[in-house]
Structure 1
Amino acid sequence: MTPRIAIIGAGFGGLCMAIRLERAGITSYTVFEQASGLGGTWRDNTYPGAGCDIPSHLYSYSFEKYTSWTRRYPGQPEILGYLAHCADKYDVRRKIRFDTAVTAAAFDGTGWRVTFRPSPGTAEPRVEEFDVVVAAVGQLNRPHLPDIPGRSTFDGVAFHSARWNHDHDLTGRRVAVIGTGSSAAQFIPPVAERAARLTVFQRTPNWVIPKPDAEFSPRTQRAFHFVPGLQRLYREWIYRYAEGTLYPALAGGWSADLLRKRALGHLHAQVRDPALRAKLTPDYPPGCKRVVIDSRFYPALTRPNVEVVTDKITRIAPGGVETSDGRLHAVDTIVYGTGFRSTEFLAPVDFAGRDGRSLREQWREGAEAYLGIAVPGFPNLFLLYGPNTNLGHNSIVYMLECQVEHVMRCLPYLTSRGPMEVRAETMAAWRAQLARAMDGMVWGEGCQSWYKTATGRVTNNWPGPTTLYRRLTARPPGGAYKFG
């Protein structure tokens, strides 16, 4: 029997799963996307300067090399264009139901009953039945807005960077940016060029290293297109560099001091003012928070119309932002570059497993899944970009392909032996293995980060080389699961 498969989400993960099924000749799947277009986070984040800090040829599927990249590091429009290209080339767009939001999924003993938000003009939600659910909703899809008193009283225009208000012209405005993470580092430079006055509110400085971006010349693009194997060699070189140089820095290895020196050298070269430089110097090890890779961020902060404020925000007033020194920073626009609710995996979909078990309740102390893919008590449910699969040094697309291949290895088992569920003892062993590996990583060094829950547990990141993850996900899955 060919399983009926529901894929939730049409970003990198969901499209990869759909394409892999198509290539295997399995067409009994449907992709459900709550938005009107594909792309996930690359559809949502359209702020000025939006792009990726992983090189183009690595931030792409291994099976679809794409010769149309114009830069070493891709911008948001190019990434979205790449995903559209893949959906069309592999003919999976016809299997996507856009504007279709999944609100709940419940296991009924043999399969899953998936509930959808009611369509306009209808009162009752629609329910469909599937044998397998693949959740590909991502980790960076729900904007986080800080709990600052008075936020709703602001008289001006306010929005989150992932919901950019393109109708609001920032030219000549007095703008406040709250947050200085990776997204803010990208949009602050173009905002600083337009705004009359830009006030940047920084809670904690980030380690920043230069981004060696450049356009590919027409000659280079032709070489990638016509020279056999050149793209593969270039991609492999990028991958090996990241794995061999950046990962050791996160694991307290040989390159940790090298990363620190590179970041400090970048700061000193671009910020001459010692007072501003002191504000921008972190007091925690590089990699504890996501390292920002950008070459335009520091110069933007040194512009005469830009001020960096490190005093704590006490409230949002109708006319601006008030800080702990009693100062009211008068602004007419607030942009929140405050990241995402990244530890609330799979939200807002409610999953109920065996005997009505709530996944949200099971994860109340922090999300966890075997290989980041399977959860005890939830048969035939597979996660893509699940707990502890995010990376701080390499391409998440690599991890997604590993996860998709694991799901493909599972499908014959559940088809022949019935519903499959990861064993509790398998999960316990995996939990212990993760805990041992986390002890050696820099993320526990005392900084606050989107990698962690409020209690300090790292639920997002993978604490090992990606080569290890590939070996683990490539194992025959039968022994890790129980059936029926």
Structure 2
Amino acid sequence: MAVRVVVVGAGFGGLGVAHALRGAGVQDVTVLERGDDVGGVWRENTYPGAACDVPSPLYSWSWATNPTWGRRYSTQPEILDYIRRTAAADGLRDLVRTGTSVTALEHVDGTWRVTTDRGVLEADVVVPATGQLSNPSIPGIPGADSFAGPAFHSAQWRHDVDLTGKRVAVVGTGASAIQFVPAIVDRVSQMTVFQRSAPYVVPKPDRAYTAAHHRLFERHPGVPAGERRLTYWITERFNGALEGTSPITRPLMATIREAWRLQLRRQVRDPELRRRLVPDYELGCKRLLFSNDWYPALDRDHVDLVTDAVTAVEPEGVRTADGTLHEADVLIWGTGFAATEFLGGIDVRGVDGLPLDEVWADGARAHLGMTVPGFPNLFVVYGPNTNLGGSSIIGMLEAQAGWITEVVRRIDAGAAHQVAVRREAWESYDAEMQRRLGNGIWAGCDSWYRDGGRITTNWPGLVAEYRRRTARVDWSELEEVSPRPTSPRR
């Protein structure tokens, strides 16, 4: 009987796995999506100014190139439209059950029991593809729920709240904030931005594609393909620089740092404000951000950048460590996501009821970022140590989709039933990851890449290396967990 596969999440990762499985002849695939449509983070994050910081020709599926991108760096509505159109054209949309939240995954008698808010399914293989940036994070600041006005996270934007003429408090200066702050700054009467750590913000070489560009792309597909290859080559050089093993690490980082310094000096008039916008950590240790209008937005007369620590939220505003109450009408959290809480919100239990939370008590780890001993036929997409400091994550997701598909094809053919990584391979791989990450640039500061003393989110090498390591399944690293069950399927 054909293998039953349940994919959790209908973003780039989950849909990419479904595409690869269907292409390999695996027909019984169901994609469960908690939202009301496909799209993942690009469906959820609708804040003003939302856009990608990877050029569009590379930030797209290799099997679904798009010559009609409107910009080099596409905006959220256009990316979401691309995902929707591609999913529909490829037949993937028919596999998706929307409005279905998965609450538990339990391995019972050789089968995965998938519990949702709309009932229970059974599957031979489960592929969680919920991503690292799916669950918004709001810090546990005293009084966070006491604010009298509208308060919301950037990933849960309240479009019904009119910001015109309002006093707006923004907590956080990460990748989302540097996009939505410039987009709303001219509508508000006063803005207070609370910065815990200054980011490095470098110029974004963005531009709109004209009708002439689109004619060129349509008539000569090699042009956008060439841009994709060039962007990939450039970002791979940056990935190598972050690992610290590339001979161009120092000159490349020096060039990026100079671009940051010149932009800051050119765009911020006030020397004191410039001083507060200088990061206190090494370039690359935290996520490098791209924007042409972040610094000008902070340099407005009605904008105040506060670097004192936030100690409390009160009905009237935000109080900082110096005792000042910064009054506001609207509070926006730009505090990112619970990136290290992989599969957050899903109770996962493997063989003999083993809780995944227990295995990951001191930090998530998975062989190739996908498989954990004791959890047969559970393969995580965009799992531990697969995030990138540079380049397009879609390259990593497609590599994972190919590896998972090879495993599922073997299961589907009856050559195996339940497979998971051998413990020694899992431990050896994790030791390698932590050793390499400990020698790289991310080890030098506290960031969302870390869970305690471990860097659990990021991949330490090039995308090309990860592709090589996942191009073929090394079956010596996997083991058959138990024989095929004899009980009939329900």
Q: How does 1:28-427 map to 2 (within 5 A)?
A: 28-117=28-117, 119=118, 126-245=119-238, 247-251=240-244, 253-254=249-250, 255-415=252-412, 416-427=415-426
Deviation per CA, 1:318-376: give whole Å up to 9, x if none. 11111111211111100000001111101111111111100011111000000001111
Over 6 Å off, 4+ runs:
none
Q: Tell me: CA distance 1:371–1:246, structure 2 relative to 1, closer, same or farther (3 Å).
A: closer
Q: Partner amino acid for 1:191?
A: I
- Is the Cα contact below 8 Å between 1:249 and 1:257 reproduced in 2? no
Structure 2 Cα separation of the partners of residues 57 and 410 of structure 1: 30
Q: Secondary structure of 1:153's partner?
A: coil
Partner of 2:439: 440
Q: Secondary structure of 1:381's partner?
A: coil
Structure 2 Cα separation of the partners of residues 259 and 249 of structure 1: 12
Q: Secondary structure of 2:454's partner?
A: coil
- Is the Cα contact below 8 Å between 2:243 and 2:461 reproduced in 1? no
Q: Tell me: CA distance 1:104–1:249, structure 2 relative to 1, closer, same or farther (3 Å).
A: closer
By how many angstroms is 1:228 displaced? 3.5
Structure 1 Cα separation of the partners of residues 272 and 379 of structure 2: 50
Structure 2 Cα separation of the partners of residues 6 and 451 of structure 1: 28
Structure 1 Cα separation of the partners of residues 218 and 241 of structure 2: 33
TM-score (norm 2): 0.95
By how many angstroms is 1:49 displaced? 0.1
By how many angstroms is 1:25 displaced? 2.7
Deviation per CA, 1:227-246: give whole Å up to 9, x if none. 13222211000000111245
Structure 1 Cα separation of the partners of residues 168 and 290 of structure 2: 24
Deviation per CA, 1:183-228: give whole Å up to 9, x if none. 0000001221100000000011001111111101111111111113
Deviation per CA, 1:400-450: give whole Å up to 9, x if none. 00000000111233331221111001101101211221122111112x211
By how many angstroms is 1:250 displaced? 5.0
- Which runs of 5 or more structure 2 residues have no equivalent in the other structure? 483-490
By how many angstroms is 1:162 displaced? 0.3
TM-score (norm 1): 0.96
Structure 2 Cα separation of the partners of residues 214 and 230 of structure 1: 16
Q: Which residue, out of 447, 459, 465, partners 2:462?
A: 465
Structure 2 Cα separation of the partners of residues 323 and 417 of structure 1: 59
Q: Secondary structure of 1:469's partner?
A: helix
Deviation per CA, 1:288-336: give whole Å up to 9, x if none. 1111111110000001110100011121111111111121111110000
Structure 2 Cα separation of the partners of residues 104 and 304 of structure 1: 50
Deviation per CA, 1:79-114: give whole Å up to 9, x if none. 100100110110111111011111111112422111
Structure 1 Cα separation of the partners of residues 94 and 430 of structure 2: 39
Structure 2 Cα separation of the partners of residues 471 and 315 of structure 1: 49
Partner of 2:488: none
Identity fraction in percent: 45
Deviation per CA, 1:259-309: give whole Å up to 9, x if none. 222211221121121100000000111111111111110000001110100
Structure 2 Cα separation of the partners of residues 188 and 13 of structure 1: 29
By how many angstroms is 1:256 displaced? 2.1
Q: Secondary structure of 2:439's partner?
A: coil
Aligned length: 475
By how many angstroms is 1:249 displaced? 4.2
Q: Secondary structure of 1:383's partner?
A: coil
Structure 1 Cα separation of the partners of residues 139 and 431 of structure 2: 33
Structure 1 Cα separation of the partners of residues 329 and 409 of structure 2: 58
Q: Secondary structure of 1:129's partner?
A: strand
Structure 1 Cα separation of the partners of residues 472 and 26 of structure 2: 22
Q: Secondary structure of 1:244's partner?
A: helix
